[in-house]
Amino acid sequence: MKTILCYGDSNTWGSATRPGDDQRYDPNERWPGVLAERLGNEWSVIAEGLSGRTTVHPDPVEGPWLDGSAYLHPCLRSHRPLDLIVIMLGTNDLKQRFGVPPSDIAKGVGRLLAIVKNSECGPDGSAPRMLVVCPPPILDRFGQRPEFAEMFAGGHEKSLKLAPHYRAIADDYSAAFLNAGDVIKSSEFDGIHFDKETQAALGSAVADAVLKLRW
């Protein structure tokens, strides 16, 4: 059995685009669950999603534990041996409070890839293989979450520029790459999260990317 770790934020955790507080999709509706179903019994898929997680930034408002680089190595050690790490982060780096350009958001992903590459958490102490997923652009309107407008001011424009930077950083670390914006869009519900059908489409796209790798 091969093991995949999906490391992400609220869209990996499964935040639902439907009214009400603390709404979360069922496990089989979240993209890692769809990925697991597509791949079948020879694969184990571990979902490690945390709402608000950034690539490398301790959040001064929501909490320092949201720094994805701080938790990644312990997470890898906890679940080893791992055959593949799928990283989809960067949406929360678009928050105005961080003030970072698209190129620096991609460099944050590069920091995570460096941690994975040097982790010795793959089979027989090797490095796990890596797949970078660039999140789709956020919208310039936030529907049922108007408070996002100030929080993510300028984020839409930055998010449109992420994909080429992510592709370049993936190439630098010999990681596979998937531009989620080629296959899905963020929801009109809040401009940030994914509708149920979008979660399913992303899970299928990640499965296709995984199966294209040489195993």
pLDDT digits (tens, 9 = 90+) for 6-49: 999 999 999 999 876 568 999 999 999 999 999 999 999 999 99
Close Cβ partners of 86 (under 8 Å, ≥ 6 residues apart): 4, 5, 6, 7, 8, 130, 131, 133, 206, 210
- pTM here is 0.96
CATH superfamily of 2-212: SGNH hydrolase (3.40.50.1110)
pLDDT digits (tens, 9 = 90+) for 102-157: 999 999 999 999 999 999 999 999 999 999 999 999 999 999 999 999 999 999 99
Domain ranges, ordered by start, for the chain: 2-212
pLDDT digits (tens, 9 = 90+) for 34-44: 999 999 999 99
| SS3 of residue 47 by DSSP | strand
The pLDDT score that the predictor gives to residue 133 is 98
